[in-house]
Structure formats: C-alpha cells, structure tokens
Chain A
Amino acid sequence: MITLKRPAAAVGATLLAVAALSACSSDDTASDTTSPTDSATCALTVTDPWVKATDEEMTGAFRMIENPTDADITVVSASSPSAGMMEIHEVVDQDGSMVMQQKEGGLVVPASGSATLKPGSDHLMLMQLPAPIEAGDEVEITAVCDTGGAVTWTSVAKPFEGGAEPYVPGEDDAMSSESPMASEGAMDMESMQPSESTN
C-alpha cells in the first residue's frame, strides 16, 4: 500500500502553518549549518513553494517569501534532505547572456516586504541530488536566516520547461574541492539544460 501524502492542493495552505510553527524555534536542521542561539527566530513566511522536477543532479526551488517584520531579514543558507547541498542563486547578465551564479551575501527579504524566487531570477538551487525529484514529489527545504533560526517548508515538485540558465560556479566554488561544479566544469553546465528525458 502506498502512504498517502498531503494532497498538493493543500500544500499552499499548510505550508504557511509549517513556516509559522518553525519560525518560532531554531530547529535541528538549521543548527547543522549555522549556530543560532536558542532564542533565535526567523519570522519569514513562505507561500506557493515548488521545485522543478528533474532527473538531473540539480534543480531550482521557487516561491514567495514574505517578511512581516520591520527589519530586513537575510536568508543566508538553505538545506534539504533531498539534496546534497543547496545554494542561493541569482541570474545575471554576463556579457550579453543570462547565467546563474551564487548570490553574494544571501537573499535579502526587505522589511514588511517580500522576495519572489522564480525561474530566471533569484532562486534556491538544490545540488548533488541523490535521486531524481519526480513530478508531484514533496521536497522539504529549510532556510537559515541571519536573525538565527530557520524556516522549513514543503515544496511540491512541478514539471517545468524553463529555468535553464547555465551555471557559472563562483570563485569560492572553483577553489573548493568539495564542489562537484568545480571538478566537473562544463559537464555540469550541460546538466542545466531543460530535461527532455521525462518520457
């Protein structure tokens, strides 16, 4: 028998609850990446989260993040049980072609404002995927904030034909022996092309 997952229809609604709940505590996932104090919180809320379904090694995560507080909050890192590592990316014009690269200083969600993560723009990148993320899968993502604390939400995997800008590893990546992007170079740019192998 299959295990029933939360219906996709409910993801948008329940996500808010998940985000709100985790907003008030620094959770275990976050403490692996940063060292938030016990009192640290992250007040960000997340709506309509999705990731691009893929059988490649990388994929993007998208949604709108709202900041109800009166101070800017920066997402400094993210993690997911479905990915070996995650990065915060931006898409920039490099000599006339759009490429994506790591976003310096993290993702700033302005006070009483929002940040929209979408294909062709800022997004979270799931990398070193141990297994394909199939359409309809649910992917848990935790984002760590500069205020300490973290928000965790569940994204649904959607078939999507865009979001295929070539990835240009930053200098930090290139010098890190742990980065698959550096060691495999151009091969990994190939992997960012739209997946046509879903048949």
Chain B
Amino acid sequence: MAAESDQNRGLSRRGLLSGIALGAGGLAVGGVTGYAAASEPSIDEASATALGSETVDCFGTHQAGIATPRQAHVTFIGLDLRREVNREALVRMMQLLTDDIVRLTQGRPALADPQPELADVPARLTVTAGFGEGLLTAAGLETKSPYWLTAGLPGFKVDELQPRWSDGDLMLQVAAEDPVTVSHAVRVLLTDARPFAKVRWMQSGFHRPANTAPTSTTGRNLMGQVDGTINPQPGTEDFDQVVWIPADGEPTWLQGGSSVVIRRIEMDLRVWGGMDEMAKEEAIGRRLSDGAPLTGGDEFTAPDFEAVDANGFEVIPATSHMRLAHAQDSTDRVFRRPYNYDDGVDEDGKPEAGLLFTAYMADPDAQFVPIQQRLADADVLNIWTTPIGSALFAIPPGFSEGEYLGQTLLG
C-alpha cells in the first residue's frame, strides 16, 4: 500500500510540475506571438513535451494502470493461449512481456523493438495484465483459481454477448496519453505474445486528453452523461479496500492483486440522440448539464432518493441508472475506469460506439454482480444500451525489479 501511495504522490508531483511548465511556457509563447496571431493559440510546446515524457513507475505492490490517473487512450487485448502452451512456456512469455513493460513504460525501446524510434514518448504509458481461468488451466494451476474466476460471471438478461468481444486467457490493458505510444506498445507486446497466444479481441477506447480537459473533471460518455462521479479515490483507504485483494486474502498469489470486469456496452446513439432532455435526465437520474442529481445541488451533492414531486412520484425515478447503480451497502462498490469506444459507423451511418465499461474490485462476485443484477433487472438505460462483450480476469499483484509479472502464480 505504501508503494502505491508513493506512486500516486510521484504522479501528482509530476502533474504539478507539468502544470508549472505549462504556465511558464504559455507566457513565453504569449510573448512571442502576442502581436502576431493572438487568434490562433497553439498547443503549448513545453506542456506537450512534459506530458509526453512523463512516466509511471511500473514497479510496486500493485500493477500500474489501475490507481494511475486514467490516461486518454487505451487498448485492451484479449488473448487465447495456443494449445501447447504450458506453465514453463507461460513463464517465458511473462518474462518477455515484463521486460517489454519495464523498458517501454520508461521510454526505452524494447529488446528487438521493430520500431525503436517510437519508444521515446512514454506519455504515462502503463501496461496491466490480467489472467483468465484458461491461463491457470494451461499452467496446471486450476486449484489456485479464486472462486469467482472459476465460476465466472453469471449471465444477465440484458446480455447479447458476442464471443468476439468476450472472455480470453490473458488480458493486456495498454494505456497512455498518446495513441501512437499505445499503438507501438501493443505492436511490441503482440510480437512477443505471438508464439504463445492468438489475439481473441482487441478494443480501443479514449477520453478527452489532459491538454483539452482537466483530469480533475469527471469524463462524459458518448451519451453525453457525466459518468464516474461516485468512484473510490485512489490513494484513500476506501479505494484500497474496494480494489485490492488484502495481504491476508485468498488465494495467496493474488494478495496485492485485484480483478477486472471489462464489458463492451453498445449504445444506440441515434435513438438516444433523438430523446428530449427531460427523458434523458430521468433515465440517468442526473442533470445532463453538470451531472448534479435531479434532487439538486452540484455533481457531488448526495442524491435524495426519498424526494417526491407534487404528484408523489420519485424525483429520481426507481428505474433510473443512478438509483440502481448506487451502493445498497458498503459491499457492492467497484472502482470504474471506463473508456469510450467508437469503431466508426455501418453503411447506413449507424454508430458502432459505446462504452468499454472497466471496473476493478477485490471480489467481483460480492461487489460487481449485485450492482449489475439490479441494472439488468430494471435500468431504463437498457433501452439504449446493450452489453455485447464481457470478460473477467484476475489481476496479479505488482512486481519489483528482477521479478516478472505473474511470478507469484507461475514461479
């Protein structure tokens, strides 16, 4: 836990420094261009360089990329192990991938990097690995599988899951502030994974980058909703309890680890876009303008679920997304780290877009399933959203220099 908070402190310190750099650089640019082209502000060069050169420590008690402030770009990769891959081969694969992660996240080319020229902008790159049940089976270590991974997630009645977006033996979350950095890292990692695994799915997502929206603001999803207001804050005891498998948790190889649920939620943006604002707000339970609960205040004001209008109807409807997603007790809470996706349109212009719902938690069965069950049963948002992919992975703990990712299981 100490290592993680150090990591957070390091990041915020760097964040602060880049903020200072932005201020100073802005003055310089202003001085130069003040009389020339005031109407064409350019991206501040100093802040761009600072963001590009920022690194996130890949070593620690926990894997990077979870408590790390959400980067603007992500690619998730789901891999299926080749049939002949056993525990010995898995060790070799994870050693290769770990070496790539160590080098790339620090802005150095990987060994045998096909494009070493692309490695010098780390841009807060993190690579986070998750193990599916299939990986433990391939290693002959099924007995070490946590109960929730063996069982898998239950089916939900709203699911229209497609195999091409679901499951997998190994998951890599590759995230950075720069999409070129993500692309290069993915290329390197897949080159090394190829002898061991086939790509099952690949999903890329995005957010507003840090140079167009302060990282402190809650992002909006593609339905326009402020999404992610109620979320444990990294660096707090609350976050640690929600996310990390504790030092006395089971199985022992996952101590300091976590779990992740990745669900591809397709949005019917054309129908949603034609809805009036009031209907949209009643579906979510929050105001579209600022994300405040329909019972008033600002984004972070606690919703008043008891409030009724003049006709006796609940102000925050019983079928609204927020009411149903809201924790019923202290157990059913997760840490969300979602991304938007937009894979273009079909020939009729229908968007293939939505949300890569990504949630980390210590125990998905106890923490995620109850929330999802409530949403599946009654959430009015289900009219415009359809889960078309779903995958669950155990997140091994972090690693130190000289160790490899997954060593607590495979070593």
A94 CB within 8 Å of chain B: no
Q: How far is the CB of A128 from chain B (nearest CB, A)?
A: 22
Complex Cα spacing A48 to B96, Å: 13
Interface size on B, residues (CB 8 A): 26
Residue among A9, A62, A135, A161 with most chain B CB within 10 A:
A9
Q: How far is the CB of A86 from chain B (nearest CB, A)?
A: 19
Q: List 5 A-B contacts (CB under 8 A).
A: A8-B96, A12-B99, A135-B93, A135-B96, A199-B82
How many residue pairs between the two chains, A and B, have CB atoms under 8 Å in the bound complex? 77
B48-100 contacts to A (CB < 8 Å): 82, 87-89, 91-93, 95-96, 98-99
Q: How far is the CB of A117 from chain B (nearest CB, A)?
A: 12
Complex Cα spacing A138 to B191, Å: 18
Whether B403 contacts A198 by the Cβ 8 Å rule is: no
A11 CB within 8 Å of chain B: yes
Chain A interface, DSSP helix/strand/loop, else mixed = loop
Whether A5 contacts B111 by the Cβ 8 Å rule is: no
Q: Which of B88, B92, B99, B195 is the one whose CB lies under 8 Å from A11?
A: B99
Whether A8 contacts B195 by the Cβ 8 Å rule is: no
A137 / chain B contacts, CB cutoff of 8 Å? 92
B34 CB within 8 Å of chain A: no
Chain B 245-276 interface 0/1 with A at a Cβ cutoff of 8 Å (1 = within): 00000000000000000000000000000000
Whether A135 contacts B402 by the Cβ 8 Å rule is: no
B402 / chain A contacts, CB cutoff of 8 Å? 7, 9-10
B196 CB within 8 Å of chain A: yes
A8-B82 contact given A2-B87, A135-B192, A158-B112, CB 8 Å threshold: no
Whether B192 contacts A7 by the Cβ 8 Å rule is: no
B404 CB within 8 Å of chain A: yes
Whether B112 contacts A135 by the Cβ 8 Å rule is: no
Whether B98 contacts A8 by the Cβ 8 Å rule is: yes
B112 / chain A contacts, CB cutoff of 8 Å? 50, 52, 62, 158-160
Whether B195 contacts A198 by the Cβ 8 Å rule is: yes
A30 CB within 8 Å of chain B: no
B401 CB within 8 Å of chain A: yes
B194 CB within 8 Å of chain A: yes
Besides A5-B92, A135-B192, 11 new A-B residue pairs in contact (Cβ under 8 A), listed by A number: A5-B91, A8-B99, A9-B401, A10-B401, A62-B112, A135-B92, A135-B195, A136-B95, A137-B92, A198-B194, A199-B82
B111 / chain A contacts, CB cutoff of 8 Å? 12, 48, 50, 156, 158
Complex Cα spacing A8 to B99, Å: 6
A187 / chain B contacts, CB cutoff of 8 Å? none
B114 CB within 8 Å of chain A: yes
B121 CB within 8 Å of chain A: no
Interface size class of A (residues with CB under 8 A): 20 to 34
B403 / chain A contacts, CB cutoff of 8 Å? 7, 9
B196 / chain A contacts, CB cutoff of 8 Å? 135
Whether B191 contacts A7 by the Cβ 8 Å rule is: no
A4 / chain B contacts, CB cutoff of 8 Å? 91, 411
Whether B92 contacts A9 by the Cβ 8 Å rule is: no
**Nearest A-chain residue to B99, judged by Cβ:** A8
B102 CB within 8 Å of chain A: yes
Q: How far is the CB of A18 from chain B (nearest CB, A)?
A: 15
A134-B92 contact given A2-B87, A9-B102, A10-B402, CB 8 Å threshold: yes
A48 / chain B contacts, CB cutoff of 8 Å? 111
B367-411 contacts to A (CB < 8 Å): 401-404, 407, 411
Complex Cα spacing A29 to B411, Å: 31
Whether B404 contacts A159 by the Cβ 8 Å rule is: no
Whether A7 contacts B194 by the Cβ 8 Å rule is: no
Whether A7 contacts B92 by the Cβ 8 Å rule is: no
A34-64 contacts to B (CB < 8 Å): 48, 50, 52-53, 62
Complex Cα spacing A62 to B109, Å: 15
A8-B191 contact given A50-B111, A160-B112, CB 8 Å threshold: no
Q: How far is the CB of B42 from chain A (nearest CB, A)?
A: 38
